[in-house]
């Protein structure tokens, strides 16, 4: 039920401080810089200097115009949360057209295709996500203004999907033999309440996976690598009470008032600055009419942190604030009839790829070879959360170009020098799986992996 303008204004006044999620007072967590070992540096340099790799990287740039058209086409295929099939069908058809006859859509909806290496090497997932932030019915047509392309999901993650397909095309065109296997995956369930269902299914069904390179965002001014999985818990909270006419029933507690008191207390919670921890009440609703004491109210909230222990402590404080808000409303009217229920609707695990891991060294070497400055490490909530939580070497990196307006109808993508991110991503993948006759894989097969 939609809120009336008056109720919405009242709620916004009460809840304004909560919606800021403390991002204005919670600085980015500082992560240690990456040091590339001499062995990794020499192996990567040898690979990047090889004529076969120089040809591959030149082809990445030459494929730029075609990639942009495919990027645009992918962006215009609707893929709202839980309804990604049309885009998955297209992706699988392209995998098959590029020579992966084994490509398929798994039971969860992921589009998957395996490019095999020579054998006895590691298996690396190379992935981007299919779903967009936007609900069904969103106008996904792409428009162009002043050199930028505008459209919901243009930067995240249609660009990543296009880079995956371009990378496969170039590997196939050059008949480049790798040592390890590359598992191309377009995943479902990364956005909104998808709860990483695609990644959970993938890693449950593929115990042979030894590492993952994810493409999630376009390069900003400074290159970044995601090495920390930001955990999150999301809740629906519902409040209920007797309700009644606002005049003759005055004195009855209100479900909306109880929610307001709860949110006021939530806004007083002070999470630690390090590890970075945030929260927000994202949506509110309820009530029947302006002249009725509300018998129902509901809100959704999210808590995020770069550490599970800190998430748990902040979560405990926020849920205690909800309980205290209900108690406040019941005590105000000396009537204990307001009750509430919480339901966990999102659970994304934490994790971290150590800064000295080979996968981060390889990605840093690749990015530094194409970018002006070394990348910095950061934490984020991505598909990488799942493998990082399992201890599987993982890096999530940029996919080229510039972007802005994330998760808004005015999301935009600037293709200037977009091939640079694609070159760095493919170079990272090849460093990790090795190229037959040039370098052995830097990624090590995990103990116990099939």
| Residue 390 pLDDT > 50 | yes
Separation between Cα atoms, residue 306 and residue 108, nearest integer Å: 27
Q: Locate tokens 């790799």: which residue?
A: 53
- The whole-number pLDDT of residue 33 equals 82
- The whole-number pLDDT of residue 371 equals 82
Cis peptide before 275 (omega within 30 of 0): yes
CA distances from 55 to 51, 61, 130, 177, 432 (A): 6, 10, 29, 14, 19
Section 279-304 average pLDDT: 97
The packing angle between helices 64-75 and 85-97, to 10°, is 150
Q: Encoding tokens for residue 313?
A: 């402590």
| Residue 332 pLDDT > 50 | yes
Q: Encoding tokens for residue 65?
A: 């115009």
Separation between Cα atoms, residue 228 and residue 379, nearest integer Å: 4
Q: Locate tokens 């404080």: which residue?
A: 317
Distance of CA 269 to the CA centre of its chain: 26
User: What is the pTM for the complete model shown?
Assistant: 0.88
Q: Is the torsion defined by CA of 399, 402, 406, 412 positive or negative?
A: negative
- The whole-number pLDDT of residue 447 equals 72
117 and 178 Cβ atoms separated by less than 8 Å:
yes
> pLDDT tens digits for 114-155?
999 998 899 999 999 999 988 899 999 999 998 899 988 888
Domains and CATH numbers, the chain: 5-27+232-348 (3.30.70.360), 38-230+350-433 (3.40.630.10)
- The whole-number pLDDT of residue 153 equals 84
> pLDDT tens digits for 31-54?
778 899 999 999 999 999 999 999
């Amino acid at each position: 039920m939609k809120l009336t303008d008056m109720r919405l204004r009242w709620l916004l006044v009460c809840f304004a401080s909560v919606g800021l999620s403390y991002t204005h007072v919670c600085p980015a967590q500082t992560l240690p810089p990456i040091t590339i070992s001499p062995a990794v540096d020499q192996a990567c340099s040898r690979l990047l200097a090889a004529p076969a790799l120089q040809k591959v990287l030149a082809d990445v740039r030459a494929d730029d115009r075609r990639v942009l058209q495919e990027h645009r086409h992918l962006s215009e295929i609707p893929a709202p949360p839980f309804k990604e099939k049309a885009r998955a069908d297209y992706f699988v058809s392209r995998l098959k057209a590029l020579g992966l006859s084994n490509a398929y859509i798994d039971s969860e909806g992921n589009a998957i295709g395996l490019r095999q290496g020579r054998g006895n090497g590691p298996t690396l997932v190379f992935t981007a996500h299919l779903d967009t932030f936007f609900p069904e019915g969103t106008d996904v047509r792409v428009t162009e203004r002043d050199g930028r392309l505008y459209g919901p999901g243009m930067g995240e993650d249609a660009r990543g999907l296009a880079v995956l397909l371009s990378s496969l095309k170039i590997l196939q065109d050059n008949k480049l033999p790798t040592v390890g296997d590359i598992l191309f995956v377009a995943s479902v369930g990364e956005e909104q309440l998808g709860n990483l269902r695609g990644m959970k299914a993938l890693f449950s069904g593929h115990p042979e996976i030894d590492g993952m390179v994810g493409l999630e965002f376009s390069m900003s001014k400074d290159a970044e690598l995601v090495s920390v999985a930001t955990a999150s818990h999301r809740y629906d909270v519902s409040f209920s009470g007797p309700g009644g006419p606002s005049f003759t029933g005055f004195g009855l507690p209100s479900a909306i008032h109880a929610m307001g008191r709860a949110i006021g207390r939530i806004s007083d919670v002070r999470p630690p600055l390090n590890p970075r921890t945030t929260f927000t009440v994202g949506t509110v609703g309820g009530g029947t009419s302006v002249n009725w004491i509300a018998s129902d109210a509901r809100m959704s909230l999210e808590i995020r942190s770069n550490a599970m222990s800190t998430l748990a402590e902040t979560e405990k404080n926020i849920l205690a604030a909800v309980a205290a808000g209900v108690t406040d409303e019941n005590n105000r009217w000396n009537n204990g009839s307001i009750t509430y229920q919480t339901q966990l609707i999102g659970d994304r695990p934490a994790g971290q790829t150590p800064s000295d891991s080979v996968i981060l060294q390889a990605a840093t070497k690749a990015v530094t070879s194409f970018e002006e400055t070394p990348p910095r490490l950061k934490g984020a909530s991505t598909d990488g959360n799942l493998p990082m939580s399992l201890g599987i070497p993982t890096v999530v990196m940029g996919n080229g170009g510039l972007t802005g307006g994330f998760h808004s109808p005015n999301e935009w993508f600037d293709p200037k020098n977009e091939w640079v991110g694609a070159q760095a991503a493919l170079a990272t993948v090849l460093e990790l799986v090795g190229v037959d006759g040039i370098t052995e894989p830097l990624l090590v097969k995990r103990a116990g992996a099939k």
